[in-house]
Amino acid sequence: MERINVELGERSYPIYIMTDFSGLGSAFSKAGLRGKVMVVTDSNVSNLYLKACMEEITSTGVQTCSHVIEAGEKSKNLDTVKDIYRQLTDQRFDRNSAIVALGGGVTGDIAGFAAATYMRGIHYVQIPTSLLAQADSSIGGKTGVDFEGFKNMVGAFYQPRFVYININTLRTLPLRELRSGLAEVIKHGLIKDAGFYDFVRLKMQKIFEFDESTLQYITRTNCSIKKSIVEQDEKESGLRAILNLGHTIGHAVESVSGFELLHGECVAIGIAGAFRLARRMGMISKAVEEETESTLRDAGLPVKAANMEPQQIYAEMLHDKKAKEGKLSFILPKRIGEVINHTIDDRRLLMEVLEELVG
């Protein structure tokens, strides 16, 4: 068992990195959670891990129930949140109650938003089961849903009471989802830790074999990178923006694909785009650009937005909530392991890179 603390004053919380669910009951007791508990999960994860988690939580003597949402990004909307509110009120959940998010980033973002807003906030616990959620979305307190085609348009910063990661849940994750999660893992190396990036690059095969010590090291390092950034800038007023490497183009590609492409796949395309931009701006060499693309490809990720219209991707980027007065913010590499925030309003440069990305 490993424990990493996210230090955020009175909102501090532990992340447990485990190989099964046997420590979940004691994590609950340690957090002092004694009210009613609703486990929110999705239609895939419920068949795999709901029973084991419910048993562990119930063993602490609390009253539990579950709420199953349909798996997939299309559920990430206010209607799903309303269904959760309805069950919470029907079952008389109060301020001492807790919502547990058991699943990937979609479940975590929806359940976290419900927890943040029901009665102005009830306790919330994350049990991430996808690589993307274990590496990224379960830590840092960003919650929310999509609105009318716009990603994460409605949301709140709301920290969980603890995060419980069972790395062996990755064994049942579909390969495409595992690859999608690797995009955020690679991103963490690229923004902050060249040594970690090299480790992931060189140990890629061990990840696909679910080698326990490799997964434990990766999870520990991922969590440490993410937590150190969140600790310095909880609400993204500055530094935290570096986590958005690949996301300016990535979110736009995700919208244009009608959410057919997975989040991590779009982030990979976005990272490839950011490196292409940086190379054109003279910040990195062609060799660095090509090596990064080849790492993403080795992870089985796309680096091109095939069959998309560059103009449409550009229009989506301008629509993004982070675009300010027609100016777009990009996180760009200075070298592997270091990035900077750049505002670009050179439409021609952007269109050239988008043309390359769809080509």
Q: Which of the residues are catalytic?
A: 120, 142, 184, 226, 236, 240, 244, 247, 251, 263
Q: At 226, list the tokens.
A: 């993410």
Degrees, nearest 5: CA angle 209-23-1: 55
- Which one among 8, 23, 31, 48 touches ligand NAD, defined by CB under 6 A? 48
Q: At 86, list the tokens.
A: 């309805």
Q: At 186, list the tokens.
A: 């690679």
Residue 182's closest CA among 344, 320, 10, 297? 297
Rounded CA-CA distance 323/67 in Å is 36
Residue 133 touches ligand NAD, criterion: CB under 6 A: yes
26: Cβ–Cβ under 8 A, 6 or more apart, which residues? none
Stretch that binds ligand NAD, among 3-11, 37-45, 211-219, 348-356 (CB under 6 A): 37-45
Rounded CA-CA distance 278/340 in Å is 10
- Which one among 4, 93, 103, 116 touches ligand NAD, defined by CB under 6 A? 103
Residue showing tokens 């994460």 = 152
- Which one among 28, 53, 73, 245 touches ligand NAD, defined by CB under 6 A? 73
Are residues 129 and 167 in contact, defined by beta-carbon separation less than 8 angstroms? Answer: no
Are residues 76 and 101 in contact, defined by beta-carbon separation less than 8 angstroms? Answer: no
How many chain residues bind ligand NAD (CB under 6 A)?
29
Residue 106 touches ligand NAD, criterion: CB under 6 A: yes
**Minimum gap (Å) between residue 210 Cβ and ligand NAD:** 11
Residue 270 touches ligand NAD, criterion: CB under 6 A: no
Distances 120 to 48, 65, 117, 197, 200 between C-alpha atoms, Å: 32, 21, 5, 40, 40
- Which one among 6, 24, 45, 268 touches ligand NAD, defined by CB under 6 A? 45
Q: Which CB sits closer to ligand NAD, 12 or 285?
A: 12
Residue type at position 255: S
Residue 142 touches ligand NAD, criterion: CB under 6 A: yes
Residue 135 touches ligand NAD, criterion: CB under 6 A: no
Q: At 63, list the tokens.
A: 């009253």
Residue 255 touches ligand NAD, criterion: CB under 6 A: no
- Which one among 80, 93, 109, 296 touches ligand NAD, defined by CB under 6 A? 109
Residue 160 touches ligand NAD, criterion: CB under 6 A: no
Residue 248 touches ligand NAD, criterion: CB under 6 A: no
Residue 137 touches ligand NAD, criterion: CB under 6 A: yes
Q: In whole angstroms, how large is the CA radius of gyration of the chain?
A: 20
Q: At 105, list the tokens.
A: 């980033």
Residue type at position 269: I
Helix (H, G, I), strand (E, B) or coil at 64: strand
**Minimum gap (Å) between residue 33 Cβ and ligand NAD:** 21
- Which one among 4, 13, 140, 178 touches ligand NAD, defined by CB under 6 A? 140
- Which one among 76, 161, 192, 240 touches ligand NAD, defined by CB under 6 A? 76
Quote the strand ranges of 19-104, DSSP E.
37-42, 64-69, 98-103
Helix (H, G, I), strand (E, B) or coil at 330: strand
Residue 73's closest CA among 244, 258, 245? 258
**Minimum gap (Å) between residue 48 Cβ and ligand NAD:** 6
In the range 165-224, which residues lie near ligand NAD by CB under 6 A?
169, 172-173, 177, 180
Residue 238 touches ligand NAD, criterion: CB under 6 A: no
Residue 44 touches ligand NAD, criterion: CB under 6 A: yes
Q: Which CB sits closer to ligand NAD, 4 or 62?
A: 4
Which residues lie near ligand NAD (CB under 6 A)?
42, 44-45, 48, 71-73, 76, 103-107, 109, 129-130, 132-133, 136-137, 140, 142, 152, 169, 172-173, 177, 180, 263
